[in-house]
Structure 1
Amino acid sequence: MIAPLMKQAGRFSETTVDGEVVLLNLDDGAFFSLTGTAAEIWALIDGARNREAVIAELAARHNADHAAVAADLDPFLADLQARGFLAGA
């Protein structure tokens, strides 16, 4: 089984305002804003779903091709990981 995507607990603070998710990196004080599909993906990263499950859910919700979703998702996950918000992607 492929490991689920996990948020990096204790490394950020999170709040949602009018559908925008605002993350504060507790290590460097940088803010990161997630809106639209990015906020939707953030909500899907719940510690239970792996990359493939997130792709499948997004593809179903948006009637999109799995390969196209993966091509957009992977750089976003890599960015979240580089910013310290994900434990692994």
Structure 2
Amino acid sequence: MSSNPMTTQSPNLNTCLKADSQHVSSDLAGEQVILNLDNGVYYSLNEVGSQVWSLLKQPRTLHEVVDDIAGDYPVPRDRIEADVVTLAGDLLEAGLVSVIED
């Protein structure tokens, strides 16, 4: 497996991502605060975003992430899919996760 940043393509449910381990994160009252050590910028994730971050500590497809999230929240699956894909795009753009390709 190799890691490649996704720069021109948006993630989809088949995209496999992994949180980059060189960034520092901490749980603060149910929210994750992540420090991007490359640029010194802090990012904050709410409870669901924190769960996504935690799941991405191991390589996973966004479909797998949605499956895990859908089991925990009474929200329509299409809404969860859209929100997870949007968050994944934001995490990629911030350089906090990498695309994992076979």
| Length-normalised TM-score, structure 2 | 0.74
Point out where structure 2 has 5 or more consecutive residues left out of the alignment: 1-13
36-45 or 69-78: bigger deviation? 36-45
1:17 is aligned, of 12, 25, 28, to 28
Whether 1:8 aligns to 2:13 is no
Q: Give, in angstroms, the shift of residue 4 of structure 1.
A: 3.7
Matching residue's letter, 2:95: G
Identify if the C-alpha distance between structure 1 residues 48 and 6 changes in structure 2 by more than 3 Å, giving closer, same or farther. closer
Q: Give, in angstroms, the shift of residue 84 of structure 1.
A: 0.7
The structure that is helix-richer by fraction is 1
What corresponds to 2:38 in structure 1?
27
The structure that is strand-richer by fraction is 2
Identify if the C-alpha distance between structure 1 residues 74 and 19 changes in structure 2 by more than 3 Å, giving closer, same or farther. same
How far apart, CA to CA, are the structure 1 residues paired with 2:33 and 2:27? Answer: 6
| Length-normalised TM-score, structure 1 | 0.83
Greater RCO, 1 or 2 (C-alpha within 8 Å, sep 6+): 2
What corresponds to 1:55 in structure 2?
66
Report if the CA contact (8 A) 1:24-1:31 is conserved.
yes
How far apart, CA to CA, are the structure 1 residues paired with 2:89 and 2:62? Answer: 12
Identify if the C-alpha distance between structure 1 residues 19 and 59 changes in structure 2 by more than 3 Å, giving closer, same or farther. same
> Percent identity, aligned pairs only?
24
SS in 2 for 1:33: strand
SS in 2 for 1:21: strand
Q: CA RMSD in A?
A: 1.9
